[in-house]
Amino acid sequence: MDWQILEQTTDPLPVFHDWLKEAGTTEPNDPNAAALATATRHGEPSVRMVLVKKVDENGFCFYTNEASRKGRELTANPRAALCFHWKTLRRQVRVEGPVVELPAADAEEYFHSRSRMSQLGAAVSRQSQPLESRRRLEELVEQYGEEHPGEIPRPEYWKGYAIQPERIELWMDGEYRLHNRFLYVREGAAWTRQRLFP
């Protein structure tokens, strides 16, 4: 899809899905990885990579430990931004909006779709807290696995979140850094589109 088509596009979400699908064939690892920016109540920012597991009527959905730094910041200041960067395709997508917690059933379903070791790791991790050694982490995983030989219970603090997009920017690389940027702003059920200077 080239920029001329974007000039006629009134809804950025189908374009995002097309780009993500294309990235699945060109990016060597995790095409659904995005930089997630959050901030404290006082506006102090932080950013890290997350995997966006789905984009649906809830928004751009990801999962994390509520007690982690990003979880605490989302509780204090429930707004966030995402940036997908597909270097091979020379494209970016930026997303901004309020964040809502996904239903517990959604988090439960996704948690148990993961590998057993991933579930164990999530269950024992005191995410973002100091850890004395790698060996201590491995001991916690081993111990918890022995205590739960069957299904691993999802910790209450392991939750799903969705960014409900209010602004989406589609960015395409341009020759001589004359990039093509299209900003979509949600107004009710529709989007307005505006081309931006590179």
Tell me the C-alpha distance between 93 and 83, whole Å. Answer: 6
Q: The tokens 């590179």 sit on which residue?
A: 198
Exposure on the CB side of residue 183, measured as CA atoms within 13 A: 10
What local confidence, expressed as pLDDT, does residue 133 receive? 96
Q: Which helix (H) or strand (E) holds 175?
A: none
pTM higher than 0.75, yes or no? yes
71-127 pLDDT per residue, tens: 999 999 999 999 999 999 999 999 999 999 999 999 999 999 999 999 999 999 999
C-alpha dihedral sign at 137, 142, 148, 151: positive
Confidence of residue 164 (pLDDT cuts 50, 70, 90): very high
Residue type, 148: H
Q: Which of 116, 135, 136, 177 is catalytic?
A: 177
The two tokens of residue 4 are 């001329």
| Catalytic residue status for 177 | yes
Residue 50 is classified by DSSP as: E
16-51 pLDDT per residue, tens: 999 999 999 998 899 999 999 999 999 999 999 999
Tell me the C-alpha distance between 107 and 159, whole Å. Answer: 6
CB 86 within 8 A of CB 19: yes
Residue 67 is classified by DSSP as: T
> Cα Rg for the chain, rounded, in angstroms?
19
* Class of domain 3-112+156-196 as given by CATH: mainly beta
Domain extents in the chain: 3-112+156-196, 113-153
Number of Cβ within a 10 Å radius of residue 130: 5
